[in-house]
C-alpha cells in the first residue's frame, strides 16, 4: 500500500512541475500567485514522499530478522 501511495505522490509531483512550466504563459501577477501555490504544493508532496520513504525504511528494518 505504501508503494502505491509513494507512486501516486511521485506522479502528483510530476504533474505539479508540469503545471509550473505551463504557468509561465500567464500574466505576471497571476503567474507569481500560481507559482507560489505550486511551490507550496510541491513542498507538501515532497514532505509526504520523505515521510513515506522513512516509514517504509523503518518498517523494513523492523521486519528484518537477520541472517
Q: What is the pLDDT of residues 1-48, one digit of tens each?
A: 678 899 999 999 999 999 988 888 888 889 999 999 999 999 999 999
| Range of the structural domain that residue 31 is part of | 2-58
Residue 25 lies in a domain: yes
Residue 8 lies in a domain: yes
**Res. 63: pLDDT tops 60:** no
Q: Quick one: average pLDDT of 58-66?
A: 59
User: For the chain, give me the number of helices (H) and strands (E)?
Assistant: 2, 0
Residue 21 lies in a domain: yes
Residue 65 lies in a domain: no
Instruction: Output the pLDDT for position 40.
Output: 96
**Res. 58: pLDDT tops 90:** no
DSSP 26: S
Residue 66 lies in a domain: no
Residue 64 lies in a domain: no
Taking the C-alpha atoms of residue 66 and residue 16, their distance in angstroms, rounded to an integer, is 41
Of the two residues 43 and 58, the one the predictor is more confident about is 43
Residue 31 lies in a domain: yes
Of the two residues 61 and 66, the one the predictor is more confident about is 61
> How many domains are there within the chain?
1
Taking the C-alpha atoms of residue 38 and residue 24, their distance in angstroms, rounded to an integer, is 12
Residue 16 lies in a domain: yes
Amino acid at each position: 500500500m505504501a508503494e502505491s501511495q509513494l507512486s501516486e505522490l511521485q506522479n502528483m509531483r510530476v504533474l505539479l512541475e508540469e503545471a509550473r512550466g505551463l504557468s509561465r504563459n500567464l500574466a505576471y501577477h497571476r503567474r507569481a500567485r500560481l507559482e507560489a501555490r505550486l511551490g507550496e504544493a510541491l513542498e507538501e508532496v515532497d514532505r509526504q514522499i520523505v515521510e513515506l520513504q522513512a516509514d517504509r525504511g523503518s518498517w523494513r528494518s523492523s521486519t528484518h530478522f537477520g541472517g
